[in-house]
Amino acid sequence: MSATVARSARPARRRGVFLLLGAALLAMFLFVALFGGAIAPYDPNAQDLLVLLDPPSATHWFGTDEIGRDIAARVIVGTRITLTIALTSVALAGVAGVALGLVAGYVHGAIDRVIMLCLDLLMTVPSLVLAIAVVAAIGANAVGLVTAITISFVPPLARLVRARVLELCDLDYVEAARAVGMRPKRILLRHILPNAESVIVIELSLMAGEAVLVGSALGFLGLGVQPPAPEWGAMLGASRQFLEVAPHVAVVPGLAVSLLVLAFNLFGDGLRDWLDPTATT
Amino acid sequence: MLRLLAWRLLLIPPTVLGVVTILFLIFKAVPGDEATMVAGATATQAEIDVVRHQLGLDRPLLVQYASHVAGLLHGDLGYSSTFRGNPLPHILERAPATLLLTVSAIALTVLIGIPGGILAASFQHRWPDLAVSGGVVALLAVPNFWLGMMLIALLSVRLGWLPSLGLTGPASLLMPTLALAARLIALVARLMRGMVIEERHKDYVRTAYAKGLTVGRIMYRHVLRNALIPIVTVVGLQTGYLLGGSVVVERLFDWPGVGDLLLTAVGLRDYTLVQGITVLFVIGFLLINLVVEALYRLINPRLR
- Full DSSP string of chain A: --S---SSSS-HHHHHHHHHHHHHHHHHHHHHHHHHHHH-SS-TT---TTSTTPPP-SSSTT-B-TT--BHHHHHHHHHHHHHHHHHHHHHHHHHHHHHHHHHHHHS-SHHHHHHHHHHHHHHTS-HHHHHHHHHHHH-SSHHHHHHHHHHHHHHHHHHHHHHHHHHHHTSHHHHHHHHTT--HHHIIIIIIHHHHHHHHHHHHHHHHHHHHHHHHHHHHTTSSSPTTS--HHHHHHHHGGGTTT-THHHHHHHHHHHHHHHHHHHHHHHHHHHH-TTS--
Nearest-by-CA chain A residue for B200 = A5
B26·A126 Cβ contact <8 A: no
**pLDDT given for residue A43 in this prediction:** 82
Closest Cβ–Cβ partner in A132, A244, A262 for B141: A262
Percent of chain B whose pLDDT exceeds 70? 99
List of chain A residues with pLDDT < 50: 1-9, 281
Question: Mean pLDDT throughout B128-155?
Answer: 92
pLDDT per position as a tens digit, A9-19:
455 556 688 89
Answer whether A121 sits within 8 Å of B239, measured CB to CB.
no
Task: Please give the Cα distance from B165 to B162 (Å, whole number).
Answer: 9
Tell me the nearest-neighbour CA distance from A261 into chain B, angstroms: 5
Cβ atoms of B282 and B22 closer than 8 Å? no
CA–CA distance, A208 with A196 (Å, rounded to integer): 19
Q: Is B13 on the interface with A (CB under 8 A)?
A: no
Residue B170 in this model has a pLDDT that exceeds 50 = yes
Q: Which of the four pLDDT bands, split at 50, 70 and 90, describes residue B47?
A: confident
DSSP character at residue B152: I
B159's enclosing H/E stretch is none
| Maximal C-alpha separation, chain B | 87
pLDDT at A128: 92
Q: What is the ipTM of this complex?
A: 0.87
> Cβ of A9 and B262 within 8 Å?
no
Residues 16-55 of B with CB under 8 A from A: 18-19, 22-23, 26-27, 29-30
The proportion of chain A whose per-residue pLDDT surpasses 90, expressed as a percent, equals: 39
pTM of structure: 0.89
Which residues in B lie closer than 8 A to residue A122 (C-beta atoms)? Answer: 22
- According to the model, what pLDDT value does residue B214 have? 86
Contact B241 A126 (CB under 8 A): yes
A202-206's contacts with Cβ under 8 Å and 24+ in sequence apart are A202/A268, A202/A271, A202/A272, A202/A275, A202/A276, A203/A157, A203/A160, A203/A268, A204/A90, A204/A94, A204/A157, A205/A264, A205/A267, A205/A268, A205/A271, A206/A264, A206/A265, A206/A268, A206/A269
Q: Which whole number is the average pLDDT over B247-259?
A: 93
CB-based contact B263 A221, cutoff 8 Å: yes
Average pLDDT, chain B: 87
pLDDT at A278: 62
CA distance B50 to chain A (A): 25
CB nearest to B143's CB, from A131, A134, A216: A216
Yes or no, beta carbons of A133 and B274 under 8 Å apart: yes
Query: Measured between alpha carbons, how far is residue B261 from residues A152, A223, B144, B267 in Å?
Result: 21, 15, 19, 10
Cβ neighbours around A8 below 10 Å, total: 17
Which of B23, B175, B266 best probes binding to A when mutated, by most A CB atoms within 10 angstroms? B266
Tell me the pLDDT tens digit for each residue of B178-219: 999 999 999 999 999 988 888 888 888 888 888 888 888 888
Instruction: Tell me if residue B24 falls in helix, strand or coil.
Output: helix
Look at A220 and B145 and tell me if their CB atoms are within 8 Å: yes
Locate the chain B residue with the closest alpha carbon to A9. B194
Cα nearest neighbour of A253 on chain B: B146
A-B contacts (CB, under 8 Å): 151
Measure A134 CA to nearest chain B CA, in Å.
8
Contact A124 B22 (CB under 8 A): no
Q: Residues of B with CB below 8 A from A233's CB?
A: 143
Test B266 with A135 for CB contact under 8 angstroms.
yes
User: Which residues from B are below 8 Å from A217, CB to CB?
Assistant: 143-145, 248
- pLDDT at position A5, please? 42
Among B146, B150, B263, most A C-beta atoms within 10 A, so best to mutate, is: B146
Give the three-class secondary structure for B201: coil
Question: DSSP secondary-structure letter at B44?
Answer: -
Best of A75, A121, A205, A265 to substitute, by most chain B Cβ atoms within 10 angstroms, is A121
The pLDDT of residue A138: 85
Please give the pLDDT value at position A4. 40
Q: Where are the alpha helices (DSSP H) in B200-270?
A: 203-210, 215-217, 224-237, 239-253, 258-267
On chain A, the residues whose CB falls within 8 A of the CB of B143 are 213, 216-217, 220, 233, 254, 257-258, 261
pLDDT at A96: 96
d(CA B120, CA A10): 12
Distance of CA B74 to the CA centre of its chain: 26
- Bigger pLDDT: B182 or B124? B182
Whole-number pLDDT of residue A6: 42
Question: Using CB atoms and an 8 Å cut-off, which of residues 232-261 of chain A contact chain B?
Answer: 233, 236, 239-240, 243-244, 247, 250-251, 254, 257-259, 261
Residue B304 has pLDDT above 60, yes or no: yes
Residue B179's pLDDT is what? Answer: 95
Using alpha carbons, select from B267, B300, B288 the residue that is nearest to residue B82. B267
The DSSP output letter for B301 is G
